[in-house]
Amino acid sequence: MSKKVISAADEAKINFAFDNATELLKNQKARGERIELNILRGDTPTFMEYPLAAKPEDLKGVDAAIVGIPFEGLTIQTPSIMAPPTCGRPEPGSVYWRMGADVGLDNIRKYSIYYSVKHNRGYFPEIDKEMVMEDYIQVRDYGDVPYTPDDIEGNLERAEKRVAEVVAAGAMPIIFGGDHTVPTPTLRAILKPREKKAGLIVFDSHMDLSCEPKNWASTEWNQVLELGKISPDNFVVIGIRGVRNSIFEKNVAKELGHRVITIDEMKDRGIKDVMDEAIRIATDGTDGIYMSLDIDVMDPSQVVSQKAPEFWGMTMDEMFHAVRRISREKVIGLDINEYTPDYDVNGMGAQFCARIAAEFLGGLALRKRDGLK
């Protein structure tokens, strides 16, 4: 550090000038100093207007970081044909073949403005009547992973590297997809350095237990389980329904023996009872829970912006009860995926995704306030 060469009187004068100007402005009718917007790019703000982390060093001391993985691999064109990501996109309003999960991240960030920390520093009275989130946690938006449709492997490698930087900083990754391939690179980054087992709770209408073709939104659990850090005994999937679960997946699920809770079982038992069981399974002998949310677990009447809508899904009441329960546990990561803006109405799907993430930040703040790790 260079030595100051001005006099102590000059230094005091400089300090007083700025401090006094700030104090005087409180009673003067004039604009304050301009504040730089927290902008990710263009007119897209950072998530909840948290500060942007432009490089790994910016993650120092951070508790959670938002990462966008705008990945979309193979998509289902017809019940028997899949289209590669380089294929031309379907026309707006396409009934069965839907794309667009790779272009929804800006929308989620824009609608996160409803939960901006500029409102009140993260005070959600329904989460806790006294707690202000910014008193306990630091959050950064770590931007989006570069995406090239014709480079599937490269996209996933870049995603794993970006998430690994968050993990190395000691922060919890909150991932916005992209399609349901995003848990693959995310959990590789989270689980590789861990020495203990993790629990996995998935909300989805599909089992996603295919193994071919690789790297699409139905083979992620095959690849994640191969990492050897999650036991089928600690794996729960909630909300399964519809005819798009294959016979192959049925056979895999039977052999794995992991807990598969169909939508009818959840409705019959009630979400409170189901979540008691899910938490018990996911925390049994593990060191943290990872949650994956495919928004097609929701009933389309509640969240319309889905790639694979299926009626008789979860309601808002059910989902937010589940989120409140999981977010109070030790969470090691979260992904929210399959949001498709072409099918959204008034941005409500984007706002739903943003609110889910905000709930997990609230749970993280509560745990820090209460001294829980």
Strand, helix or coil at 141?
A: strand
User: What angle do the packed helices 152-168 and 183-191 form, to 10 degrees?
Assistant: 40
360 or 73, greater pLDDT: 360
> Phi-psi category of 86—alpha, beta or left, where left has phi over 0 and alpha has psi -120 to 50?
alpha
User: Rounded CA gap, 278 and 290, in Å?
Assistant: 12
In this predicted structure, the answer to whether residue 1 has a pLDDT above a threshold of 60 is no
The model's pLDDT over 117-146, given as tens digits with 9 standing for 90+, comes to: 999 999 999 999 999 999 999 999 999 999
Q: What is the mean pLDDT of residues 293-308?
A: 96
Q: What is the mean pLDDT of residues 209-225?
A: 92
Burial of 236-260, coded b for 16+ CB within 10 Å and e otherwise, reads bbbbbbeeebeeebeebbeebebbb
Percent of the chain with pLDDT over 70: 98
User: Rounded CA gap, 71 and 178, in Å?
Assistant: 4
CA atoms lying within 13 Å on the CB side of residue 323:
25
**pLDDT value at residue 268:** 98
Please report, for residues 59, 140, 186, the alpha-carbon distance to residue 54 in angstroms, rounded to integers and kept in the order given.
9, 9, 19
Whole-model pTM above 0.75?
A: yes
In this predicted structure, the answer to whether residue 32 has a pLDDT above a threshold of 80 is no
DSSP 52: B
Exposed, middle or buried: residue 54 (CB in 10 Å: 0-12, 13-18, 19+)? exposed
Percent of the chain with pLDDT over 90: 87
Domain 39-369 CATH superfamily? Ureohydrolase domain (3.40.800.10)
In this predicted structure, the answer to whether residue 5 has a pLDDT above a threshold of 90 is no
User: Rounded CA gap, 328 and 154, in Å?
Assistant: 35
The model's pLDDT over 143-185, given as tens digits with 9 standing for 90+, comes to: 999 999 989 999 999 999 999 999 999 999 999 999 999 999 9
**pLDDT value at residue 10:** 93
Split at pLDDT 50, 70, 90, the class of 351 is: very high
Q: What is the mean pLDDT of residues 259-271?
A: 98
**pLDDT value at residue 205:** 98
| Average pLDDT of the chain to the nearest whole number | 95
